[in-house]
């Protein structure tokens, strides 16, 4: 049984020219890219995407960061792709992410208000459906 997930190459990944490497790793893992678009996310889209974080101290810096440049939205499919991509991405903190993961190999802590950690991946089937509906409507 195949599932779909949303993967975002965040503005820091796009600005550093890592989109191709991230796509390469997704495809090398055996997942299929079935949707791809680059866009400048507006506040409305980001507010809907990060609604569960509204009111938290990092919310505004996160919205500011995510609207600071282009984002690449990827729809990827495959067996257990949600769990598999999150493992491929590595832990949220790039300083402690394992070598071999996207964040472990390519990310670092820049000492900023919000963690710039290159990628986002949906955390559940329900989140993936909601997020794919927002980014690929």
CA distance 32 to 81: 9
Letter string b/e over residues 86-110, b meaning 16 or more CB atoms within 10 A of that residue's CB = bebbbbeebeebeeebbbbbbbeee
Written as six digits, the tokens of 106 are: 């390519």
Q: How many CB atoms lie within 10 A of CB 44?
A: 9
CA distances (Å), origin 129, targets 11, 30, 74, 79, 122: 22, 21, 13, 15, 9
Catalytic positions: 120
CA distance 21 to 82: 19
């Amino acid at each position: 049984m195949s599932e779909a997930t949303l993967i975002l190459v965040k503005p820091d990944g796009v600005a550093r020219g890592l989109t191709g490497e991230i796509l390469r790793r997704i495809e090398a893992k055996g997942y299929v890219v079935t949707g791809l678009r680059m866009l400048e996310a507006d506040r409305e889209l980001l507010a809907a995407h990060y609604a569960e974080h509204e009111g938290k101290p990092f919310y505004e810096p996160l919205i500011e960061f995510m609207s600071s440049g282009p984002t690449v939205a990827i729809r990827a499919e495959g067996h257990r792709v949600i769990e598999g991509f999150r493992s491929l991405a590595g832990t949220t903190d790039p300083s402690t992410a394992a070598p071999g993961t996207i964040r472990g190999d390519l990310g670092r802590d820049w000492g900023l208000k919000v963690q710039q950690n290159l990628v986002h991946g949906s955390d559940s089937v329900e989140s993936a459906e909601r997020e794919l509906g927002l980014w690929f409507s």
